[in-house]
Structure 1
Amino acid sequence: MTSNTTTTTTTNSNSNISTCKHIDQYKSKDGLKKFNIIQNYIYTFKHRLVDTDKLPAPYCMECNCYNGRLHICMHCVHVSCFKDKHIFKHFKDTNNDHYLALDFSLNQIYCNICNDYVYDKEFDDITENVKLNMAITIQDISNPTPKRVKYRNWTPSEQETLFIKKNSQQCSGSTTNSSSVIGLRGLNNLGNTCFMNSILQSFLHNPLLRNYFLSDMHKCEKKSNNDSKQADQDDYSDENTNNNSTSNSSNNTMINNNGVNQVSVCLGCEMDKLYSNVFSGQRVPFTPYHFFYSCWNYSNYFIGYEQQDAHEFFISSLNGIHSHCGGTSGKDCDCIVHCTFGGTLKSQVSCLNCNFTSSTSDPFIDISLDIPKTKQDKDKPSLVTNNNNNDDNDDNTDDTTNNLIESNSNNENSLISCLERFTHPERLDEKYFCSSCNSKQDSTKQLSFDTLPVVICFHLKRFEQKTQRRTDKIDTFIEFPSIIDMKDFTTISKTQNQKKRKKFMEDETMILDLDQSIFLQEKDSRYVYELFAVVNHIGKIDNGHYVSFVKHDEQWYKCDDSTISSTTVDHVMKSKGYLLYYLKKQLEYTK
């Protein structure tokens, strides 16, 4: 959920980014030293480097539970649970002085004053250094002294056996959640970062991106050989590499628009780590702070913790991945972004005097469609009205939605109608110079899809800039299909239909037959796409929230930050889509 508190962003020349002003207060009182001690304790316990008799497992000091989302107070040795709100009790008992606590399982910092999880680059560096030192300790074979305790057979006591049976029954009887299927994992909100989480979920369930990064196809071009060796030792972060370097070479630092040196990042490597963590089988939600921090370094526009536009983040992320994954500026770029999302639009300008037509082709990675300026369709309200899971509220859902091949084009509030308007000839306001007439003439302009991408993203323009300071949200329900045939919107189809219409223009009966034959023609599988992800914006423009729906193993899921819940295709189709992602059903391989 979106945080209700306003967080503070601090940036200095060392690229230290903090999301909470209270962290700086904690640091001023030997906070870094205390945090380092806590991290060493956590990873020593998790790796069993010390006998458990000497280092017992943490438990809530209020209720003695071991599994209630334990948090370690960063000011003292107190451990309390989040589940029964004992963490807040300790905060009150200390007169609000002990405001920071560390989640033992997720290793995230919780600020009781901000009432949210927060992030700090210096603390993150300490965590990564502790991880690296622990890995070296475990793998150091040159020292004959064993670093792990020897394996011992363990026979649970009667009390431990009852505890295991009790908790095993709870797990087996629980409903499907984000950790039950590999590849389904919630993403923690870092403070108004639901816009990022919704886009990342669409990336994670994009088959082409998934196969590319999980197949280790990305070869980082930003690192030297030494950097690569360091990255091999640390699977979680490449930000420690040359972190203290003052070199201005492109391999080490980059200069932002404010003239501040920043650690060089590679969004391709961050995507690698994102996929590795989400598909690792871990049961707890993942915190994508490395990816977010890298986006800050790549684009200053997203620095801060204010709500951002998901579409702008989508485009910025693709540009970053393109530039960091071997992308070129030429028309024939074969990077993963253009191989996945890249297509071409043909623009044809026709002279109304002599019918001469000139055409140009332009690349695209998504299609922005205008929403008709009509009153909202009150008969089809969105079923997603808040951040809660309302998957049971589908009583009024049309049962035929699941079998839709295309929307009714008579409904102007549909994706099909938006595409028809997008590809319909429009008369230009100003006269266009016709090379055939050798003079300016009235003309029309028509767009069509010359080359279709493997994955096509439709951006429904729900945010309208009224004035320089005012932006309104268009909340109109737009019907969209689960399967769409794009053939009618291609250049080939438009050209063929125009030729047939000209040929039969004098015979009205033949024109009607032509219209019917176009409608009844057999579907060409090369142009058929299937919906696999939807991003929605819920609420008002100034305090809204982003969620996404993704298709995983033929089942739809709702992704609301750290919470993932199963849903139905009917529920997805009745939502007010903002970004719609379709995958081509038949792939063609060309050289």
Structure 2
Amino acid sequence: MSEHGCIHLSNFKAAKGTQPYKVIYAYFVACTSTEARKRKAFSCYCYICRCLGPRLHSCLHCIFFGCFVSGHIQEHAKSKKHFLAVELTYGMVMCFQCGDYIYDRELTDIANERDAKASKALGLPISYRSWEPSANEIELLRLHPRRRRVIENSTIGLRGLINLGNTCFMNCIVQALTHTPLLRDFFLADKHQCQFRDQPGSCLVCEVSRLFQEFYSGNKAPLILHRLLHMIWTHAHHLAGYEQQDAHEFFIATLNVLHRHCKGSSAHTHSSPEHCNCIIDQIFTGGLQSDVVCQACNGVSTTIDPFWDISLDLATDIPTSSSESNDSGQKSSESSQKSNEQEPTSLIDCLTRFTRPEHLGSSAKIKCSNCQSYQESTKQLTMKKLPVVASFHLKRFKHSSRFHKISTYVAFPEHLDMTPFMSHYRNMNNGHCGNTFNLLPDNRYSLFAVINHLGTLDGGHYTAFIRQQQNHWFKCDDHLITKANIQEVLDSEGYLLFYHKQFLEYE
């Protein structure tokens, strides 16, 4: 990333001005309206391989889109002598003669001005570009030379965590949170406004902000999280004590306390009185739609509930007893049928089962608001709104006649498309929306953290795999950080899975 300018870009601006960049940035980078996103979806694909990416660039000299990783934009630059191109996710200008992305103050001001107008109009408090350095970050690199050594193989942001005695459950969650891109951007930009100024040491968000600064300071020594542990004990009493805790329970409790301690902006209004625009809800909150269909009149009762994560069953066996069957034996038959189902072998299997219609049975009749009588019904869960970070909890700890762990291997992908589990996608397949698949928003995610539980319930241990930059993986085992590869990650057992949305949209 060069911050010294480029003679080739300067010559281009002298001849053609900044209008070509303004047009590309306005129509294909900062798409803030539904129509603009549709236009981008139809237009932005590589003219050679017809793919949507990866790292799609637009030629600054002519109308041409080409992907960077496959080398098609490079081929175009070489054959046409068009050496300047705009990266369409972050708006950075690449000069193929210099072989680098170029910092240009004038173009940076254009991008920042448009982003500021869009954010102000939509009431958005933060920028949504996080996977690569933004124009503001490039300016920071220029103004602070000591911070320029964040290169491709940099390990800044990697720090081990001392185990304080059965605190591996906390260490792995902290590793996942500190490598959540938008959360990192928020805290490193000092966005938090403390609402406990008169109570020093009471705000968990301030403590997490301090931890982010420690993680990305460049210091390699392992950190001790005694202050964080004490604050969690104070605000989540059920986690207090020195015994081993569940990492998933700690994750939800931490989000809950952070959510309570955040001070969200009131500028962005919402129809729901429960809506919060704090950084936790902006990143982790999704909407789960529940449709209950009356079997008598087909009336549909719909509710939408917020969620921070999705817990997915792994076991299919359902114990039955004589008390579970009715006169017709229907409930016993349903339970027997469920117990004979094949256990899920992949995350997709789990999500498919989670979002399929479920017959509630005659023992769970509900009063239909349409026909005003108690009727049997079916219930289906789908995703109404997806969060920026989708976290999945594989329910490996099972309560039945005894408490035991399910160690079944469940395959999970590096890249996940959530479109088949969306509410509007199911409506389309039911014939309600016509053939508009290409107009759907992009619901693709990339894996960036995996938490594993090793061993048994009595002597278990938590570790984490985290993604550093684009393609570098590391295993975090308390104070020990070791290099890993994606295959090791995908071959792991998997307990908590964290996915980050690849393309972020303005609301």
Task: Give the TM-score of the pair, scaled to structure 2.
Answer: 0.60
User: Contact between 1:525 and 1:585, CA under 8 Å: does it hold in 2?
Assistant: no
Q: Offset of 1:372 from its aligned partner?
A: 3.2
Q: CA 1:500–1:266 in 2, change beyond 3 Å: closer, same or farther?
A: closer
What does residue range 352-391 of structure 1 map to in structure 2 within 5 Å?
A: 352-373=295-316
What does residue range 399-478 of structure 1 map to in structure 2 within 5 Å?
A: 412-429=344-361, 430-466=364-400, 470-478=402-410
1:268 aligns with 205
1:586 has 2:503 as partner: yes
1:206 has 2:180 as partner: yes
Q: CA 1:180–1:208 in 2, change beyond 3 Å: closer, same or farther?
A: closer
Distance 1:204 1:523 in 2: 34
Q: Offset of 1:497 from its aligned partner?
A: 0.9
1:300 aligns with 237
Q: CA 1:522–1:371 in 2, change beyond 3 Å: closer, same or farther?
A: farther
User: Contact between 2:196 and 2:203, CA under 8 Å: does it hold in 1?
Assistant: yes
1:489 has 2:489 as partner: no
1:540 has 2:456 as partner: yes
2:25 aligns with none
Distance 2:234 2:299 in 1: 49
1:560 has 2:477 as partner: yes
Q: Offset of 1:303 from its aligned partner?
A: 1.8
Q: CA 1:524–1:358 in 2, change beyond 3 Å: closer, same or farther?
A: closer
Describe the SS at the equivalent of 1:355: coil
Distance 1:288 1:187 in 2: 7
Distance 1:525 1:355 in 2: 29
* Post-superposition CA distance 1:495-516 (Å, at most 9, x none): 1112269x9xxxxxxxxxxxxx
Query: Which consecutive residues of structure 1, in runs of 5 or more, have no partner in the other structure?
Result: 1-178, 225-250, 253-263, 375-409, 504-516
Which of residues 467, 479, 484 is equivalent to 2:411?
479
Describe the SS at the equivalent of 1:349: strand
User: Contact between 2:389 and 2:499, CA under 8 Å: does it hold in 1?
Assistant: yes
User: Contact between 1:185 and 1:285, CA under 8 Å: does it hold in 2?
Assistant: yes
Distance 1:464 1:412 in 2: 15
Query: Which consecutive residues of structure 2, in runs of 5 or more, have no partner in the other structure?
Result: 1-152, 267-271, 318-341
What does residue range 323-338 of structure 1 map to in structure 2 within 5 Å?
A: 323-326=260-263, 330-338=273-281
Describe the SS at the equivalent of 1:583: strand
* Post-superposition CA distance 1:338-359 (Å, at most 9, x none): 0010011110011122211110
Distance 2:230 2:315 in 1: 37
Larger radius of gyration: 1
Distance 1:183 1:524 in 2: 35
Distance 2:409 2:440 in 1: 29
* Post-superposition CA distance 1:440-485 (Å, at most 9, x none): 1221000000010000100001111225xx4211111111011111
Task: Give the TM-score of the pair, scaled to structure 1.
Answer: 0.52
User: Contact between 1:265 and 1:298, CA under 8 Å: does it hold in 2?
Assistant: no
* Post-superposition CA distance 1:115-159 (Å, at most 9, x none): xxxxxxxxxxxxxxxxxxxxxxxxxxxxxxxxxxxxxxxxxxxxx
* Post-superposition CA distance 1:368-424 (Å, at most 9, x none): 0101337xxxxxxxxxxxxxxxxxxxxxxxxxxxxxxxxxxx983110010011000
User: Contact between 2:314 and 2:344, CA under 8 Å: does it hold in 1?
Assistant: no
User: Contact between 2:316 and 2:343, CA under 8 Å: does it hold in 1?
Assistant: no
Describe the SS at the equivalent of 2:430: helix
What does residue range 31-430 of structure 1 map to in structure 2 within 5 Å?
A: 181-224=155-198, 251=199, 265-326=202-263, 330-373=273-316, 412-429=344-361, 430=364
User: Percent of aligned pairs with the same residue?
Assistant: 46
Q: CA 1:451–1:214 in 2, change beyond 3 Å: closer, same or farther?
A: same
Q: CA 1:500–1:372 in 2, change beyond 3 Å: closer, same or farther?
A: farther
Describe the SS at the equivalent of 1:286: coil
1:73 aligns with none
RMSD: 2.4
Q: Offset of 1:287 from its aligned partner?
A: 1.1
Q: CA 1:420–1:184 in 2, change beyond 3 Å: closer, same or farther?
A: same
Distance 1:444 1:498 in 2: 16
Distance 2:300 2:192 in 1: 43
User: Contact between 1:372 and 1:413, CA under 8 Å: does it hold in 2?
Assistant: no
